[in-house]
C-alpha cells in the first residue's frame, strides 16, 4: 500500500493505493467512494478488506477521503453531492495517471452517499464497471415530508442534524438540481447493486427505479436480514467477495 495525495480545487484529497504484488504493471484499478461522514476505511474497515480482495484479483484499489472527511482538506459544512462527483472524476484521472495503473481499465465502487456519487461520476469517464453498495438516492430525492422537515430544521438551526453531522443549505440547493436515476442512467456499463433487505433506501420504489435506469446491465443482490450497513459478518464477507469478483469479470 502506498499513500497518494490528489490536489483538487485548492484542497488535498488523501488516500491509499493498494497494488497487487504478483502482477506486472499496468493493472486495472477500482476507486472506492465512502459514505456520508465516513472515511476511506468505511464501516467495519470494509473498504480495507475490499481493497485487499481486489488486489488478490490482480486489481489495484484506491481508497480516499472526500474533502472535509477523514484526513483530507476542506470543511464538512461545504459538502455537496456535485462537489463529491467532481472530486471522484479528478481521482479517476489521477489514479489513471499512476505508472502502475492502466488508465483504460478503471472502475468505481461506492457506499451509500459514495454510491450515489459513484453512480453520478461514472458517466463522466469510460468506467469499466460500477459497484453500488446501498446507494443513497434518497439523499437527493427526498419525500415531500422529509424535504419540509429538513427545510424547517435549516431555517431554525442553520443545519439539519443527520446522525450528529450537519447538512446545510448548499447541500439542499445542489440536491435539487440532481435526478439520481436519470443522471445515473447515462452510464452504459455493467452495474452491481447490493442492498440490505431492511435498508431505508428501499423506500419509494428505489429498486424499481434503478432497474429502469440500468435495465439488463444491472446485477442486483438483495441481502436478507441486514440494513444499510450490512451489519453481520457473513453479509460483509459476501459483499466484499461479490464486489471483487464482479470487478474482476469486467476489468
Q: In this structure, are 65 and 80 located in the same domain?
A: yes
Structural domain total, the chain: 2
Q: How far apart are CA 34 and CA 231, in angstroms?
A: 16
Q: Beta strands of the chain (E only): which ranges?
A: 2-8, 11-18, 27-33, 60-64, 101-111, 130-133, 160-162, 165-167, 191-196, 218-223
Q: How far apart are CA 131 and CA 161, in angstroms?
A: 29
Q: In this structure, are 57 and 160 located in the same domain?
A: no
65, 34 Cβ separation under 8 angstroms? yes
Q: In this structure, are 98 and 66 located in the same domain?
A: yes
> What is the average pLDDT score of the chain?
95
Mean pLDDT throughout 66-91?
97
Q: How far apart are CA 82 and CA 121, in angstroms?
A: 9
Domain extent, residue 73, equals 2-140+180-249
Q: How far apart are CA 77 and CA 121, in angstroms?
A: 21
Q: What is the pLDDT of residues 91-115, one digit of tens each?
A: 999 999 999 999 999 999 999 999 9
Which of these three, 178, 203, 235, is where a domain ends?
Answer: 178
Q: In this structure, are 128 and 47 located in the same domain?
A: yes
Q: What is the pLDDT of residues 154-175, one digit of tens each?
A: 999 999 999 899 999 999 999 9
Q: In this structure, are 49 and 19 located in the same domain?
A: yes
Q: In this structure, are 114 and 226 located in the same domain?
A: yes
Q: How many helices (H) and strands (E) does the chain have?
A: 7, 10
Q: Please report the sign of the dihedral spanned by the C-alpha atoms of residue 164, residue 170, residue 171, residue 176.
A: positive
| pLDDT tier, 233 (very low <50, low <70, confident <90, very high otherwise) | very high
Q: For position 118, what pLDDT does the model report?
A: 98
Amino acid at each position: 500500500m502506498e499513500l497518494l495525495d490528489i490536489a483538487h480545487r485548492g484542497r488535498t484529497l488523501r488516500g491509499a493505493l493498494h497494488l497487487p504484488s504478483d502482477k506486472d504493471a499496468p493493472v486495472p484499478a477500482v476507486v472506492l467512494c465512502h459514505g456520508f461522514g465516513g472515511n476511506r476505511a468505511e464501516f467495519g474497515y470494509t473498504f480495507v478488506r475490499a481493497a485487499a480482495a481486489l488486489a488478490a484479483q490482480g486489481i489495484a484499489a484506491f481508497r480516499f477521503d472526500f474533502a472535509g472527511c477523514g484526513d483530507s482538506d476542506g470543511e464538512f459544512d461545504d459538502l455537496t453531492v456535485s462537489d463529491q462527483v467532481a472530486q471522484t472524476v479528478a481521482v479517476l484521472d489521477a489514479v489513471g495517471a499512476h505508472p502502475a495503473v492502466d488508465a483504460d481499465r478503471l472502475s468505481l465502487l461506492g457506499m451509500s452517499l459514495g454510491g450515489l456519487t459513484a453512480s453520478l461520476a461514472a458517466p463522466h469517464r469510460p468506467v469499466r464497471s460500477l459497484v453500488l453498495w446501498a446507494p443513497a438516492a434518497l439523499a437527493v430525492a427526498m419525500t415531500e415530508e422529509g424535504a419540509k422537515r429538513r427545510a424547517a430544521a435549516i431555517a431554525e438551526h442553520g443545519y439539519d442534524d443527520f446522525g450528529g453531522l450537519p447538512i446545510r443549505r448548499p447541500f439542499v440547493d445542489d440536491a435539487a438540481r440532481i435526478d439520481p436515476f436519470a443522471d445515473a442512467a447515462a452510464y452504459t456499463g455493467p452495474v452491481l447493486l447490493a442492498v440490505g433487505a431492511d435498508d431505508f433506501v428501499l423506500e419509494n420504489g428505489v429498486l424499481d427505479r434503478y432497474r429502469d435506469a440500468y435495465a439488463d446491465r444491472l446485477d442486483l443482490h438483495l441481502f436478507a436480514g441486514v440494513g444499510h450497513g450490512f451489519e453481520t459478518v457473513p453479509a460483509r464477507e459476501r459483499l466484499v467477495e461479490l464486489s471483487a469478483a464482479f470487478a474482476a469479470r469486467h476489468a
